[in-house]
């Protein structure tokens, strides 16, 4: 249960994610869903947390190896590498499912014969194997976003355990159980822009909108919540990762704007300052109180009271 949003401002870009994960009976606000790949690209995943972490670790290791060989580790090549890791991981999982449950390999199932004896698999075994593979697919539905600079442009790639992947043509992407609410915010925003501005979205405005989308998912979607995390990549490839307090305050500023309790220009400037300029959390929090047209009301909203 997740939402991960990513947006391109043309020569820069950002990603925002929630931190909630869940098991059969518990939820946990501890997941770190945004990671750096090759110290250059933003990696975020929706699905079983352990699987996403394993894919990230394997991808990082593979990228380190190609860097040693002085191979081009561009975003497109990193995407292809992560895609291969995802496919191999999913097939290995299916193979283990089959071996643990009915003692045949994935290759045995695909060929219809036992490799060891070259005997044909009977229909009952084939049906059981197909059912187990279907279960493996359902238990490990994984979506990934990969974003970073390529040819001086922030590009976004989406990968899935069901269809491998693709380069996103829109200036944003969203994945996870919260994507429907985020999609409403982001698609509505991009559609409101003139065509010539969609490939060079205003950074301050776009950053507020992607946080607004994440807030919307957190407010309405099951399994989305906790403190947001934000990663920003500048045009000169610098990585900005505000701390938890800065991320939470940025989210609160946007919530204040959404409720018409904070001035737009103030929110745009201070959110950008928190994320990209290491803005002082305490100073900006005090300014937020001063700038609000009704701080008592905003304070209650942020604490969960109904107005």
Residue 266 has pLDDT above 90, yes or no: yes
User: Rounded to whole angstroms, how far apart are CA atoms 275 and 204?
Assistant: 10
The angle, 0 to 180 degrees and rounded to 10, between the axes of the packed helices 179-192 and 203-220 is: 150
**Chain segment 46-104, per-residue pLDDT in tens:** 988 889 999 999 999 988 887 766 567 789 999 999 999 999 999 999 999 899 999 88
Position of tokens 């820069």? 12
Position of tokens 């390999």? 105
User: Rounded to whole angstroms, how far apart are CA atoms 279 and 230?
Assistant: 14
Q: Which whole-number Å values give the CA distances from 25 to 12, 22, 107, 136, in the listed order?
A: 40, 8, 36, 21
Query: Tokens standing for 177?
Result: 């159980």
**Chain segment 120-156, per-residue pLDDT in tens:** 888 888 999 999 998 888 888 899 999 999 999 999 9
Position of tokens 């200036």? 171
Compute the residue count for the chain. 307
pLDDT band at residue 287 under the 50/70/90 scheme: very high
Per-residue pLDDT at 25:
66
| Ordered domains of the chain (ranges, CATH) | 1-241 (3.60.20.10), 243-307 (no CATH)
pTM attached to this predicted model: 0.91
Query: Tokens standing for 258?
Result: 């959404």
Rounded mean pLDDT of 28-55? 89
> Which of helix, strand or coil describes residue 194?
coil
Contact 78, 72 (CB under 8 A): no
Q: Are strands 239-240 and 153-160 parallel, antiparallel or unpaired?
A: unpaired
Task: Please indicate whether residue 179 or residue 223 has the higher confidence score (pLDDT).
Answer: 179
């Amino acid at each position: 249960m997740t939402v991960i949003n990513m947006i391109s401002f043309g020569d820069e870009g950002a990603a925002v994610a929630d931190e909630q994960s869940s098991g059969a009976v518990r939820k946990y606000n501890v997941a770190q869903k945004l990671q750096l790949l090759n110290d250059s690209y933003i990696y975020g995943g929706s699905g079983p947390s352990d699987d996403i972490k394993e894919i990230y670790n394997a991808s990082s290791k593979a990228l380190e190896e190609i860097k040693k060989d002085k191979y081009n580790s561009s975003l497109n090549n990193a995407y292809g590498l992560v895609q291969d890791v995802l496919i191999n991981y999913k097939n290995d999982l299916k193979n283990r499912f089959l071996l643990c449950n009915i003692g045949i390999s994935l290759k045995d199932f695909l060929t219809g014969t036992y490799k060891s004896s070259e005997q044909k698999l009977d229909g009952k075994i084939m049906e059981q194997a197909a059912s187990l593979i279907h279960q493996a697919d359902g238990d490990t539905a994984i979506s990934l976003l990969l974003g970073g600079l390529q040819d001086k442009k922030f590009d976004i790639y989406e990968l899935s355990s069901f269809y491998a992947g693709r380069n996103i043509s829109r200036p944003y992407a969203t994945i996870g159980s919260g994507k429907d609410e985020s999609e409403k915010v982001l698609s509505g925003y991009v559609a409101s822009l003139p065509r010539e501005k969609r490939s060079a979205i205003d950074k301050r405005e776009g950053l507020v909108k992607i946080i607004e989308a994440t807030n919307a998912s957190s407010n309405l979607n099951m399994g989305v919540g906790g403190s947001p995390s934000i990663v920003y990549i500048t045009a000169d490839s610098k990585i900005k990762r505000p701390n938890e307090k800065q991320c939470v305050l940025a989210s609160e500023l946007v919530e204040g704007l959404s409720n018409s309790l904070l001035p737009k220009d103030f929110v745009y400037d201070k959110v950008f300052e928190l994320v990209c300029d290491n803005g002082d959390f305490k100073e900006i929090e005090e300014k937020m109180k001063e700038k609000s047209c009704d701080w008592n009301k905003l304070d209650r909203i942020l604490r969960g009271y109904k107005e």
